[in-house]
Amino acid sequence: MANRPLRGLTIAVTRPRDQAVKLARRIEQAGGVPLLFPLLDISAVADTRILNEQISRLGEFDLAIFISPNAVQYGIAAIRSAGAIPDTLKFATVGQGSVKALLDLGIASVIAPGERFDSEGLLALPELQNVAGWHMIIFRGDAGREFLGDTLKARGAMVEYAACYQRSKAPLNIKALLDVPPDAISVTSSEALGYLWQMLDGDARTILSGIPLFVPHARIAAMAREQGWQQVHLTGSGDDGLISALAEWNAGDR
Protein backbone atom coordinates (compact mmCIF):
# COMPACT_ATOMS: atom_id res chain seq x y z
CA MET A 1 0.00 0.00 0.00
CA ALA A 2 2.90 2.35 0.75
CA ASN A 3 4.13 2.28 -2.83
CA ARG A 4 0.63 2.27 -4.32
CA PRO A 5 -1.36 4.48 -1.94
CA LEU A 6 -4.29 4.91 -4.33
CA ARG A 7 -4.80 1.19 -4.94
CA GLY A 8 -8.45 0.38 -5.51
CA LEU A 9 -9.52 3.98 -6.17
CA THR A 10 -11.13 5.34 -9.31
CA ILE A 11 -10.47 9.08 -9.48
CA ALA A 12 -12.43 11.39 -11.78
CA VAL A 13 -10.05 13.97 -13.28
CA THR A 14 -11.93 16.99 -14.61
CA ARG A 15 -9.04 19.10 -15.90
CA PRO A 16 -8.85 19.99 -19.61
CA ARG A 17 -7.71 16.90 -21.46
CA ASP A 18 -4.18 18.10 -22.31
CA GLN A 19 -3.54 19.02 -18.68
CA ALA A 20 -4.97 15.76 -17.34
CA VAL A 21 -2.38 13.46 -18.91
CA LYS A 22 0.38 13.90 -16.33
CA LEU A 23 -2.03 13.67 -13.41
CA ALA A 24 -3.60 10.53 -14.87
CA ARG A 25 -0.14 8.97 -15.11
CA ARG A 26 0.57 9.88 -11.48
CA ILE A 27 -2.69 8.29 -10.37
CA GLU A 28 -1.87 5.10 -12.26
CA GLN A 29 1.63 4.97 -10.77
CA ALA A 30 0.05 5.24 -7.32
CA GLY A 31 -2.21 2.28 -8.09
CA GLY A 32 -5.39 4.19 -8.89
CA VAL A 33 -7.57 4.31 -11.99
CA PRO A 34 -8.04 7.76 -13.58
CA LEU A 35 -11.41 8.54 -15.15
CA LEU A 36 -10.92 11.47 -17.52
CA PHE A 37 -13.93 13.81 -17.57
CA PRO A 38 -12.60 17.16 -18.88
CA LEU A 39 -15.16 19.83 -18.01
CA LEU A 40 -13.52 22.66 -19.98
CA ASP A 41 -11.76 22.98 -23.31
CA ILE A 42 -8.82 25.40 -23.52
CA SER A 43 -7.61 27.05 -26.70
CA ALA A 44 -5.77 30.15 -27.86
CA VAL A 45 -7.91 33.26 -28.24
CA ALA A 46 -9.55 33.39 -31.66
CA ASP A 47 -8.95 37.10 -32.20
CA THR A 48 -5.32 37.94 -31.39
CA ARG A 49 -5.28 41.59 -32.50
CA ILE A 50 -5.42 43.09 -29.00
CA LEU A 51 -2.98 40.53 -27.61
CA ASN A 52 -0.50 41.13 -30.43
CA GLU A 53 -0.70 44.89 -29.91
CA GLN A 54 0.03 44.48 -26.21
CA ILE A 55 2.95 42.15 -26.91
CA SER A 56 4.37 44.68 -29.38
CA ARG A 57 4.72 47.05 -26.38
CA LEU A 58 6.13 44.44 -24.01
CA GLY A 59 9.34 46.44 -23.59
CA GLU A 60 7.29 49.13 -21.83
CA PHE A 61 6.26 46.79 -18.99
CA ASP A 62 8.15 46.19 -15.76
CA LEU A 63 6.36 42.99 -14.73
CA ALA A 64 4.43 40.21 -16.48
CA ILE A 65 2.10 38.15 -14.27
CA PHE A 66 0.80 34.77 -15.39
CA ILE A 67 -2.39 33.60 -13.70
CA SER A 68 -2.13 29.88 -14.51
CA PRO A 69 -0.15 27.24 -16.41
CA ASN A 70 -2.51 27.91 -19.33
CA ALA A 71 -1.52 31.56 -19.25
CA VAL A 72 2.12 30.52 -19.30
CA GLN A 73 1.65 28.13 -22.20
CA TYR A 74 -0.34 30.45 -24.44
CA GLY A 75 1.18 33.72 -23.25
CA ILE A 76 4.82 32.73 -23.72
CA ALA A 77 4.00 31.13 -27.08
CA ALA A 78 2.43 34.39 -28.27
CA ILE A 79 5.35 36.45 -26.95
CA ARG A 80 7.99 34.28 -28.59
CA SER A 81 6.14 34.14 -31.89
CA ALA A 82 6.38 37.94 -31.95
CA GLY A 83 10.08 38.10 -31.05
CA ALA A 84 12.40 37.95 -28.06
CA ILE A 85 11.40 38.52 -24.43
CA PRO A 86 12.72 41.90 -23.20
CA ASP A 87 15.69 41.48 -20.85
CA THR A 88 14.24 44.02 -18.41
CA LEU A 89 10.91 42.23 -17.97
CA LYS A 90 10.30 40.57 -14.58
CA PHE A 91 8.00 37.57 -14.19
CA ALA A 92 5.52 36.62 -11.49
CA THR A 93 2.82 34.04 -10.98
CA VAL A 94 0.48 32.74 -8.29
CA GLY A 95 1.13 28.98 -8.17
CA GLN A 96 3.89 26.42 -8.21
CA GLY A 97 2.46 24.75 -11.32
CA SER A 98 2.88 28.01 -13.19
CA VAL A 99 6.38 28.45 -11.76
CA LYS A 100 7.36 25.03 -13.11
CA ALA A 101 5.80 25.84 -16.49
CA LEU A 102 7.85 29.05 -16.70
CA LEU A 103 11.03 27.26 -15.65
CA ASP A 104 10.41 24.58 -18.29
CA LEU A 105 10.21 27.37 -20.87
CA GLY A 106 13.51 28.90 -19.81
CA ILE A 107 12.27 31.63 -17.44
CA ALA A 108 14.69 31.19 -14.56
CA SER A 109 13.65 33.94 -12.13
CA VAL A 110 10.00 34.04 -11.06
CA ILE A 111 8.31 35.97 -8.24
CA ALA A 112 5.79 33.60 -6.61
CA PRO A 113 4.36 32.88 -3.16
CA GLY A 114 5.80 30.04 -1.13
CA GLU A 115 2.41 29.41 0.45
CA ARG A 116 -1.18 30.41 -0.27
CA PHE A 117 -1.03 29.98 -4.03
CA ASP A 118 -3.50 32.60 -5.22
CA SER A 119 -3.74 36.32 -5.94
CA GLU A 120 -3.82 37.12 -2.23
CA GLY A 121 -0.63 35.13 -1.69
CA LEU A 122 1.16 36.92 -4.52
CA LEU A 123 0.01 40.34 -3.32
CA ALA A 124 1.40 39.65 0.15
CA LEU A 125 4.97 39.31 -1.14
CA PRO A 126 7.37 42.17 -0.35
CA GLU A 127 8.30 42.47 -4.05
CA LEU A 128 4.78 43.71 -4.84
CA GLN A 129 4.32 46.24 -2.04
CA ASN A 130 6.03 49.32 -3.48
CA VAL A 131 4.92 49.24 -7.11
CA ALA A 132 3.78 52.81 -7.69
CA GLY A 133 4.59 53.78 -11.27
CA TRP A 134 5.18 50.20 -12.42
CA HIS A 135 3.62 49.10 -15.69
CA MET A 136 2.27 45.54 -15.40
CA ILE A 137 0.62 43.09 -17.77
CA ILE A 138 -1.46 40.17 -16.49
CA PHE A 139 -1.72 37.19 -18.84
CA ARG A 140 -4.90 35.24 -18.25
CA GLY A 141 -7.94 33.67 -19.90
CA ASP A 142 -10.77 35.56 -21.53
CA ALA A 143 -12.33 36.29 -18.11
CA GLY A 144 -11.42 36.11 -14.45
CA ARG A 145 -11.29 37.86 -11.09
CA GLU A 146 -10.26 41.51 -11.12
CA PHE A 147 -8.96 41.46 -7.55
CA LEU A 148 -5.28 41.18 -8.44
CA GLY A 149 -5.32 44.00 -10.97
CA ASP A 150 -7.53 46.23 -8.84
CA THR A 151 -5.23 45.85 -5.83
CA LEU A 152 -2.10 46.60 -7.87
CA LYS A 153 -3.80 49.68 -9.33
CA ALA A 154 -4.66 50.82 -5.81
CA ARG A 155 -0.95 50.55 -5.01
CA GLY A 156 -0.15 52.89 -7.88
CA ALA A 157 0.68 50.45 -10.68
CA MET A 158 -0.60 50.71 -14.24
CA VAL A 159 -2.18 47.37 -15.14
CA GLU A 160 -3.34 45.79 -18.39
CA TYR A 161 -4.99 42.40 -18.84
CA ALA A 162 -3.82 40.27 -21.77
CA ALA A 163 -6.30 37.54 -22.72
CA CYS A 164 -4.17 34.81 -24.29
CA TYR A 165 -6.49 31.81 -24.07
CA GLN A 166 -10.19 31.07 -23.91
CA ARG A 167 -12.27 28.52 -22.04
CA SER A 168 -15.36 26.76 -23.33
CA LYS A 169 -17.61 24.07 -21.90
CA ALA A 170 -16.62 20.63 -23.15
CA PRO A 171 -19.43 18.58 -24.73
CA LEU A 172 -19.97 15.86 -22.13
CA ASN A 173 -22.56 13.30 -21.07
CA ILE A 174 -22.89 13.00 -17.30
CA LYS A 175 -23.73 9.33 -17.86
CA ALA A 176 -19.98 8.64 -18.03
CA LEU A 177 -19.71 9.55 -14.35
CA LEU A 178 -22.94 7.87 -13.31
CA ASP A 179 -22.36 4.50 -15.01
CA VAL A 180 -19.25 3.77 -12.96
CA PRO A 181 -19.33 6.30 -10.11
CA PRO A 182 -15.76 7.20 -9.10
CA ASP A 183 -14.51 6.91 -5.55
CA ALA A 184 -13.42 10.56 -5.64
CA ILE A 185 -13.67 13.59 -7.94
CA SER A 186 -10.97 16.22 -8.48
CA VAL A 187 -11.97 19.72 -9.59
CA THR A 188 -9.42 22.53 -9.94
CA SER A 189 -11.45 25.64 -10.80
CA SER A 190 -14.65 27.36 -9.72
CA GLU A 191 -15.74 27.61 -13.33
CA ALA A 192 -15.40 23.85 -13.86
CA LEU A 193 -17.25 23.14 -10.63
CA GLY A 194 -20.10 25.42 -11.67
CA TYR A 195 -20.37 23.67 -15.04
CA LEU A 196 -20.38 20.24 -13.39
CA TRP A 197 -23.19 21.26 -11.03
CA GLN A 198 -25.24 22.63 -13.93
CA MET A 199 -24.98 19.27 -15.68
CA LEU A 200 -26.59 17.39 -12.80
CA ASP A 201 -30.33 16.86 -12.46
CA GLY A 202 -31.95 15.97 -9.15
CA ASP A 203 -31.07 12.26 -9.10
CA ALA A 204 -27.54 12.81 -10.41
CA ARG A 205 -26.92 15.51 -7.81
CA THR A 206 -28.03 13.15 -5.07
CA ILE A 207 -25.63 10.46 -6.28
CA LEU A 208 -22.57 12.56 -7.08
CA SER A 209 -22.80 15.05 -4.22
CA GLY A 210 -22.10 12.20 -1.84
CA ILE A 211 -18.80 11.35 -3.55
CA PRO A 212 -15.71 12.94 -1.93
CA LEU A 213 -14.68 16.05 -3.83
CA PHE A 214 -11.03 17.19 -3.80
CA VAL A 215 -10.27 20.84 -4.58
CA PRO A 216 -7.07 22.94 -4.31
CA HIS A 217 -8.44 26.21 -2.99
CA ALA A 218 -10.63 27.38 -0.11
CA ARG A 219 -12.72 29.50 -2.48
CA ILE A 220 -13.64 26.42 -4.55
CA ALA A 221 -14.29 24.44 -1.37
CA ALA A 222 -16.72 27.10 -0.11
CA MET A 223 -18.55 27.08 -3.44
CA ALA A 224 -18.82 23.28 -3.35
CA ARG A 225 -20.30 23.30 0.15
CA GLU A 226 -22.82 25.93 -0.88
CA GLN A 227 -23.85 23.75 -3.82
CA GLY A 228 -24.44 20.78 -1.51
CA TRP A 229 -21.37 18.55 -1.82
CA GLN A 230 -21.25 16.51 1.39
CA GLN A 231 -17.54 15.63 1.54
CA VAL A 232 -15.21 18.42 0.42
CA HIS A 233 -11.47 17.93 0.87
CA LEU A 234 -9.02 20.83 0.51
CA THR A 235 -5.72 19.67 -1.01
CA GLY A 236 -2.25 21.13 -1.29
CA SER A 237 -1.07 22.78 -4.49
CA GLY A 238 -0.58 20.94 -7.78
CA ASP A 239 -0.45 17.23 -8.52
CA ASP A 240 1.64 16.52 -5.43
CA GLY A 241 -0.94 18.12 -3.17
CA LEU A 242 -3.81 16.18 -4.75
CA ILE A 243 -2.03 12.81 -4.69
CA SER A 244 -1.01 13.33 -1.05
CA ALA A 245 -4.57 14.26 -0.03
CA LEU A 246 -6.03 11.26 -1.86
CA ALA A 247 -3.48 8.90 -0.31
CA GLU A 248 -4.12 10.23 3.20
CA TRP A 249 -7.87 9.91 2.70
CA ASN A 250 -7.52 6.37 1.30
CA ALA A 251 -5.35 5.32 4.22
CA GLY A 252 -7.76 6.72 6.80
CA ASP A 253 -11.16 5.68 8.06
CA ARG A 254 -13.34 6.70 5.15
pLDDT digits (tens, 9 = 90+) for 152-163: 999 999 999 999
pLDDT at 254 over 70: no
Phi, psi of 132 (to 5 degrees): -60, 130
**Pairing status of strand 40-44 against strand 158-169:** antiparallel
Give pLDDT, residue 243.
94
Cβ pair 163, 45 in contact under 8 A: yes
Give pLDDT, residue 130.
96
Question: Region 127-141: what's the mean pLDDT?
Answer: 96
Tens-place pLDDT, residues 12-57: 999 998 889 989 999 999 999 999 999 999 999 999 999 999 999 9
Give pLDDT, residue 200.
87
Beta partners for 158? Answer: 135
Q: How far is CA 246 from CA 8, 18, 40, 185, in A?
A: 12, 22, 23, 10
Q: Does domain 10-39+171-251 have CATH number 3.30.479.10?
A: no
Question: Region 102-115: what's the mean pLDDT?
Answer: 92
Residue 97's pLDDT band (cuts 50, 70, 90): confident
Residue 72's pLDDT band (cuts 50, 70, 90): very high
Amino acid at 41: D
Written as one string, the DSSP assignment of 154-177 is HTT-EEEEEEEEEEEE----THHH
pLDDT at 1 over 60: no
Are both 10-39+171-251 and 43-167 of the same fold? yes
pLDDT at 2 over 70: no
Report how far apart the first and last C-alpha atoms of the chain are (Å, whole number): 16
* For the chain, domain boundaries: 10-39+171-251, 43-167
Question: Region 159-184: what's the mean pLDDT?
Answer: 90
pLDDT at 148 over 60: yes
pLDDT at 102 over 80: yes
pTM confidence score = 0.82
Q: Does domain 43-167 have CATH number 3.40.50.10090?
A: yes
The per-residue pLDDT of the chain, averaged, comes to 92
